[in-house]
Amino acid sequence: MNDVLMHTYPPQTVTFVRGQGTELFDDTGKRYLDFLAGIAVVGLGHSHPAVADAISEQSRILLHVSNLFGTTIGPEVAATLDRLIATTPGRVFFCNSGAEANECAIKLARKWGGHGRFAVVSAYGSFHGRTLATLHATGQPQKHEAFQPLPEGFRHVPWLDIDAVDAAVDPTSVAAVLLEPVQGEGGVMPATTEYFQAVRRLCDERNVLFMVDEVQTGLGRTGRWFGFQHFGVQPDVITMAKALGNGVPIGACWARAEVADAFEPGDHATTFGGQPLATSAARAVLAVMEEEDVPARAVAAGARLTKALEAVDGVTAVRGLGLLLAAELSAPIAKQVAADALTAGLVVNAVNDRALRLAPPLLVTDDEVDEAVAILATVLQAQPVAPEGRR
């Protein structure tokens, strides 16, 4: 039956039909613990009642009117985001995905830059999306090959190398630097305070925008509302998506007001962006996130998960921030371990050959953390002894 779908994803071994909190159930009724959360999407867990109520109520009131007319919920959500970002006042453009949020940022940088200043500098190992422009911003040349020619105006620098940023940011041609606070798809590689602050200084000196991609890190995931808040900097542009709708597609691009004002009516648009259905989900998500203080929950659960993982035989290191973590393994067996964990009832993901990514819902309980680590320990224990041996 799945052959009616394009072959963009590897063959899928499990079909999920239901979810509740951190639990998922497949089409045979088997239970799983979801320590991936739809890749950092369902921050509040599956089927959260507040989100379910919000979208079902809104579906009986008003789903969509187009951006030719005003709505009430979008501006409310934008004001909440602006408050949580807590830097200078900004404005928000709503869209439907992370890639679209970054497209908006890239277009804004070009409009703001003017006079031939259109290039965007991003890092090797980054991931910014699959549209042609965000694919080129993505610092993974192997993903570019089949899709040439890509839009021009993108340069890549080694991750955490400030001298490389210095060399790449030519103020006559560069409009922006675009970085993730933690490279998620790139292996869960956090930035540092020193690096983000140095990039901020460089951008200030050369009048270039500092744009931060918070699509995976945003909204509590790292233990702060936004990942950049770990590093004591104020970005000019911030993009987000995944967790904002807890599974209802919505993305957002925030920019400080003077930058946002480079856009005039007609410069950018999307049919569905900011419509009442998606923003009603986001409004409910943000209300629960504030009520539950999800950044604090991510700090506490992240610390428990880190400590437990560090004690597992076969795990050599744990890195990341809050509840966006990677467990580095003593051998390049991450894909096999993720597959075996799935069979054992635990959803994690091999973010590269040696590392498993763990990003459970932010409301995960201590018992669920302990159960997940016990499953992983059993799965690792059952692996054939790796050539390097266990830790």
Task: Give the residues lining the site for ligand PLP (CB under 6 A).
Answer: 39, 97-99, 102, 127-129, 180, 184-185, 213, 215-216, 241
- Between 213 and 340, CB nearer to ligand PLP: 213
212 vs 308, beta carbon nearer ligand PLP: 212
Shortest Cβ 308–ligand PLP spacing (Å): 25
Residue nearest to ligand PLP (CB): 98
The helix (H) or strand (E) run that includes residue 251 is strand 251-256
Residues 165, 124 contacting (CB under 8 angstroms): no
* Token pair in block for residue 226: 């936004």
Catalytic member of 34, 213, 236, 340: 213
Least separation in angstroms between residue 139's CB and ligand PLP is 11
* Closest approach of ligand PLP to the CB of residue 242, in Å: 6
Whichever of 82 and 180 has its CB closer to ligand PLP, that residue is 180
Which CB, 181 or 314, lies closer to ligand PLP?
181
Element housing 80 (H / E): helix 73-85
The reply to whether 242 belongs to the active site is yes
Block residue for tokens 């909440």: 80
The residue among 102 and 222 lying less far from ligand PLP, judged by its C-beta, is: 102
CB of 239 to ligand PLP, least distance (A): 7
Please list, in sequence order, all residues whose beta carbon lies within 8 angstroms of the beta carbon of residue 153, skipping any fewer than 6 positions away.
110, 118, 119, 120, 136
d(CA 54, CA 283): 8
Rounded-to-integer distance, Cα 204 and Cα 198, Å: 10
3-state secondary structure of 389: coil
Q: Which of 118, 127, 154, 210 is catalytic?
A: 127
Structure-token pair, residue 359: 């990003």
Residue 44 or 179: the one with the smaller Cβ distance to ligand PLP is 179
Distances (CA, A) of 282 to 27, 44, 47, 257, 262: 29, 12, 14, 22, 26
Helix, strand, or coil here: 2? Answer: helix
- Is 94 assigned a catalytic role? no
Q: Verify whether residue 127 is a known catalytic residue.
A: yes
Helix (H) or strand (E) holding 355: strand 355-358
**Least spacing, CB of residue 267 vs ligand PLP, in Å:** 21
User: CA angle at residue 239 from 67 to 196, to 5 degrees?
Assistant: 155
CB of 307 to ligand PLP, least distance (A): 26
The active-site residue out of 82, 94, 236, 242 is: 242
Phi-psi category of residue 287: left, alpha or beta, with phi > 0 → left and psi -120 to 50 → alpha: alpha
The closest alpha carbon to 188, from 323, 295, 334, belongs to 323
Nearest to 355 by CA among 192, 222, 182: 182
**Catalytic residue positions?**
127, 213, 242
